[in-house]
Structure 1
């Protein structure tokens, strides 16, 4: 694949993203690492509009990991029941909060937390801090496989290397545009 094709894709995607950006409370640029993490944790297997309905109330009630640590698991379940998987999510959040005063700031360390995979780790750090990391969920994978159909690798580790190469310094805008394109078009 030529570097010109990659460059053109980045330029076009960033342009498209400016015109088609979806607005959600966790996408505000002033969100903390914790606030972005909560959103990304909830967005796993859950539509964004469902998370948007629960997210502000959850942060009001549990503004920090310490607040989660002090809450009962039943309180957490009650707060996130509309999202589904409430027992699993509440248990994982409780485990995280009981062992950590603050969230790790490296992808590998975040992935050591219960129920946190590569997507949640990379997305959290990219959207909260602007880290130049790729985000790769099913929708984004579909975008890449369609755009780069002849060169898109099958192995997940190769896909990560492939996408890492494409992420520009404007990683936050680029990754948001990718997620929006995947959700709205692909």
Structure 2
């Protein structure tokens, strides 16, 4: 059961997302599981615009896991180098492609892959198949901990449960809007004057 503020946030965020969604190549509706996974794998600790500059060229060169398995680690490092963490990322992709010819479609199985955590697994499946899964990163945590300051849990496990509860049936649209809202409005220095949640955001009400 959602509170009145939580229901309003859901509806307001979906409406905001329709008008303010950022456009990136991995968000195209016909992207495969592999293509979305590569994007989410690269987006960890890396700005989206940086990934956008590398992503199309990487997919052109390595369109499948099989092509990654055939490449040398040095080739992968060269392709990933502009993103940083290239040795770690290249090594993980080589391990994944050597062990599998396709990616699993369950979050628990994805999380068993090298360097794949809960966020990457959930985001990959949600943004590919609209699976009703929560995406919880630092930006999302910042949004929820402000808007729902009086009920936001302290432990990571409880935060994931809280986040899961708020994901509506329109999971893909909601989670994309949540990420964009954290990046464009509810930033480290929040743009509260542009925020749709002023009337019920606990952070804003306490700061006013």
| 1:28-39 map, 5 Å | 28-39=28-39
Aligned residue number for residue 204 of structure 2: none
Residue segments in structure 1 that go unaligned for 5+ positions in a row: none
Residue in 2 aligned with 1:61? 61
CA RMSD of aligned residues (A): 0.9
Matched residue, 2:124: 124
1:185, distance to aligned residue in structure 2 (A): 1.3
Structure 1 CA distance for aligned equivalents of residues 87 and 184 of structure 2: 30
Which residue of structure 2 lines up, in the alignment, with residue 173 of structure 1? 173
The 2-side partners of 1:5 and 1:184 are apart by 21
Q: Give 1:38-117 correspondences, 5 Å limit.
A: 38-117=38-117
TM-score by length of 1: 0.98
C-alpha displacement at 1:19, in angstroms? 1.0
CA distance in 2, matches of 1:138, 1:181: 13
Equivalent pairs counted in the alignment come to 186
The 8 Å contact of residues 50 and 83 in structure 2, kept in 1 or not, is answered as yes
Structure 2 residue 189 is matched with structure 1 residue 150: no
Show the counterpart of 1:134. Answer: 134
The more displaced of 2-11 and 35-44 is 2-11
TM-score normalised by structure 2 residue count: 0.88
CA distance in 2, matches of 1:161, 1:36: 24
Superposition deviation, residue 3 in structure 1: 2.5
Structure 1: distance between partners of 2:2 and 2:175: 21
After superposition, the C-alpha distances for 1:5-33 in whole angstroms (9 at most, x for unaligned) are: 21111000001111110000000111000
Runs of at least 5 residues in structure 2 that lack an aligned partner in the other structure: 187-208
SS in structure 1 of the partner of residue 152 of structure 2: coil
Tell me, in whole angstroms, the C-alpha distance in 1 between the residues paired with 2:30 and 2:156.
Answer: 32
